Structure 1
């Protein structure tokens, strides 16, 4: 595969702003996601893909027909076109650093923004490689435009190299993954694959089939405003109650102090005044029993505080978001084994570990499409220090090709 061709494709994609919006119930949540979807629609047609369809919800699907003379399972590859609203994705200015020397990378001299291996030590894995970064003022969008690049590049390579034998392959690019809606309108029956892989992991080698069980919680506290000079026995300060509520949750069970299979409560947003305060949490745990216990714990904190206050001032609303795909993938573990075997064949050490997050694959697995997650190559997603080695994008593209070929061989 031509590395420069793949870099050029990736740069083209990331310079299209596709940031999604968690506060807009429309589908997709931003009109600008259509911009990249339409570019991809034309590109898939240009490289020779079949059955290219862009539906009314901004799902783009296409087919690479089988070139075998026998039947094998139809498999799929999925990536998302939107970028996270956590950090701006407008006016992305990618920077290419060839033959990385292991030293600090100055992203923006004027603002003294530096990507340093002393803080981000994963960088040192990629000495001698081509590192693509931002200019420090935006995210990069490798999550998940690296995945999009890899799928398109792999399909193009297979079309150009018909000597590589494979079964029917379906691909799909989804909107709104970053705001939790990426699989909501996904038509599994139309997609027609027995299983699929999301190309949405991080560092090279990642292969994941476990993810968090996830819920969002909104904690609303009602107060009462009174002139502070005459407030004794009358004012109820909702912010003070909110701070007490926060203090009653386990202080060590937060994202910045947990790893591996450890779950957490994450207060990610709050707004308040004396009369009304709202706390926005996400609740995460890989174990379903512990996940349920976390939700009950939060409800019980509110109940006990309301009893102590003598009034129902705290209301907690909890909504499940997605569940651990392990339950759906474990019965068909051969789909993980195939990807692991391909990586080993290529000299890539598989890193099999739980996802401390979720992908479209977690929801798709529960919709009947088992869907493990494969590395896309990027690091430091959702922020100004995001980067991706170009070699990792190439390798992920080659893994897709390898899986396509391996399925053809396994089911001969």
Structure 2
């Protein structure tokens, strides 16, 4: 209905589309990317969105669970939203603004370009991905088909924010193979993999290197899951830091702690597997400074102050950057994501649309 002729869903669940260039200039092909999935941390089934119009600064009580209350004390950015229209869920699910807000903003910008041919721009590629929240958002992206030179994910928080740095990330899977025996006759024989795993977790630092004790640019070791029985137990960790070499330092620490624990289990053995997840996109973006500079200018043209920051996490752009598509993250306006108190402002979404439009115009102007 919008007039985009090549929009399609591929076999892996990715959506591709093109807004054709309408300028005679040779302009780099720019991609805008958002993800369709929502976080598994909170239910996304049966979402009932509510628009709280002309927000007056008072607490917002979500009707389906009155214990869910959004207040400016717990959500400081609400203080900047007086008079705006706030969208929430009803209290029993997340909203899904992460990242459906980005999808809506890209679609609105696409509609603008398709209905305003007088606004000059180069070719614009649209990419919607699945599985971002489980770290597989770009596993099956066809980079040749995408055919873009530079990209932007639209998956950020505060209006005006621009993120050009992410964590570097590994996963570690530890498998402990214990020795099983009948508990009534286990003396001197049984070596419990469950107990060994529990001892490893107990040895992790209590006052540092964990999500709950770090902030800013500090990294961490985070146990995600622990399951097993006497004979076999599996522990999964995520390892994060802005400096890629520190990942190995944390992994070596985890390995040393494991070796210490296993000294008490001489007949057991372990597997220690490191899986690379993504790397800090700043390592790539610093080679293409115009990608971030143009985004800052677009934010200013939308009447906002650019707020450059680092993400204590990752985006599809982290991996896309290392797949040949330098790709910082611009704001979508989503807040309190992965929770029942997730919210977004209509007016912030409108500013995100304006930013996308200005960004495309800037690339055309400076080509």
For this structure pair, what is the TM-score category when the shorter chain's length is used for normalisation? over 0.9
Distance 1:72 1:181 in 2: 30
**What's the secondary structure of 2:198's corresponding residue?**
helix
Distance 1:264 1:244 in 2: 19
Distance 1:237 1:91 in 2: 43
| Residue in 2 that maps onto 1:279 | 235
Check whether the contact 1:302–1:315 (CA below 8 A) recurs between aligned residues: no
| Residue in 2 that maps onto 1:310 | 266
| Residue in 2 that maps onto 1:174 | 129
Equivalent runs, 1:54-65 vs 2, <5 Å = 54-65=9-20
Equivalent runs, 1:93-172 vs 2, <5 Å = 93-108=48-63, 110=65, 112-172=67-127
Aligned counterpart for 1:244 among listed residues 186, 199, 207: 199
Aligned: 1:348 with 2:304: yes
Distance 2:46 2:179 in 1: 44
Q: In the TM superposition, what whole-angstrom CA distance separates every residue of 1:264-316 from its partner, at most 9, and x where no partner exists? A: 11112222444433222111111011112112222222223223432344432
| Residue in 1 that maps onto 2:252 | 296
Equivalent runs, 1:61-72 vs 2, <5 Å = 61-72=16-27
Q: Which sits farther off after the overlay, 248-257 or 165-174?
A: 248-257
**What's the secondary structure of 1:47's corresponding residue?**
coil
Q: Which sits farther off after the overlay, 130-139 or 309-318?
A: 309-318
Q: Which sits farther off after the overlay, 250-259 or 91-100?
A: 250-259
| Residue in 2 that maps onto 1:332 | 288
Check whether the contact 2:64–2:90 (CA below 8 A) recurs between aligned residues: no
Check whether the contact 1:154–1:397 (CA below 8 A) recurs between aligned residues: yes
**What's the secondary structure of 1:128's corresponding residue?**
coil
Q: In the TM superposition, what whole-angstrom CA distance separates every residue of 1:13-61 from its partner, at most 9, and x where no partner exists? A: xxxxxxxxxxxxxxxxxxxxxxxxxxxxxxxxx1112322322112211
**What's the secondary structure of 2:6's corresponding residue?**
strand
Aligned counterpart for 2:327 among listed residues 346, 371, 381: 371
- State the Cα distance separating 1:262 from its structure 2 match: 0.9
Q: Which sits farther off after the overlay, 140-149 or 104-113?
A: 104-113
| Residue in 2 that maps onto 1:35 | none
Check whether the contact 1:329–1:365 (CA below 8 A) recurs between aligned residues: yes
**What's the secondary structure of 1:369's corresponding residue?**
coil
- State the Cα distance separating 1:234 from its structure 2 match: 3.7
- Normalised TM-score (structure 2): 0.94
| Residue in 1 that maps onto 2:39 | 84
Check whether the contact 1:302–1:316 (CA below 8 A) recurs between aligned residues: no
| Residue in 1 that maps onto 2:337 | 381
Counterparts in 2 of 1:135 and 1:109: CA distance versus 1, 3 Å: closer
Counterparts in 2 of 1:289 and 1:63: CA distance versus 1, 3 Å: same
Gaps of 5+ in 1: 1-45
Aligned counterpart for 1:404 among listed residues 355, 360, 363: 360
**What's the secondary structure of 1:149's corresponding residue?**
helix
Aligned counterpart for 2:162 among listed residues 198, 207, 213: 207
Distance 1:277 1:136 in 2: 37
Distance 1:406 1:226 in 2: 70
- State the Cα distance separating 1:250 from its structure 2 match: 2.3
| Residue in 2 that maps onto 1:22 | none
Q: Which sits farther off after the overlay, 162-171 or 396-405?
A: 162-171
Counterparts in 2 of 1:110 and 1:150: CA distance versus 1, 3 Å: closer
| Residue in 1 that maps onto 2:219 | 263
**What's the secondary structure of 1:315's corresponding residue?**
strand
| Residue in 2 that maps onto 1:12 | none
Distance 2:260 2:212 in 1: 27
